[in-house]
Amino acid sequence: MAKTPSPDVSPPVDEKRASFEREALVHLDVLYRVGLRLTGNPSDADDLVQETMLKAYRAWDQYEKGTNAKAWLLTILRHAFINEYRRKVRHPETVDLDAIEPFAVFPEVQDDDPQGAFFDRIVDDEVLRAIDKLPDAFRETLVLSDVEGMSYQEIAQILGVPVGTVKSRLFRARHLLQTKLYDYAVEMGYIKGSPA
Partner 1 sequence: MNCRECVEHLYEFLDRELTPEVERQIRDHLEDCPPCDEQFDFEELFLKFLRARCRTQGAPAELKRRVLRELFGE
136: burial class by Cβ within 10 Å (0-12, 13-18, 19+)? Answer: middle
Residues 21-40 that bind partner 1 (CB under 8 A): 25, 28-29, 31-33, 36
- Determine if 103 is a binding residue for partner 1 (CB under 8 A): no
* CA distance linking residue 147 with residue 30, whole number of Å: 9
Do 181 and 103 contact (CB within 8 A), yes or no?
no
Amino acid in the structure at residue 107: P
To partner 1, the closest distance from the beta carbon of 50 in angstroms equals: 6
* CA distance linking residue 188 with residue 171, whole number of Å: 26
Which CB sits closer to partner 1, 149 or 189?
A: 149
Where in 9-56 does DSSP place strands (E)?
A: none
- Determine if 55 is a binding residue for partner 1 (CB under 8 A): no
To partner 1, the closest distance from the beta carbon of 196 in angstroms equals: 15
Which CB sits closer to partner 1, 62 or 94?
A: 62
- From the list 47-55, 66-74, 79-87, 186-194, the region that binds partner 1 by CB under 8 A is 47-55
Candidates 39, 68, 145, 157: give the one binding partner 1 (CB under 8 A): 145
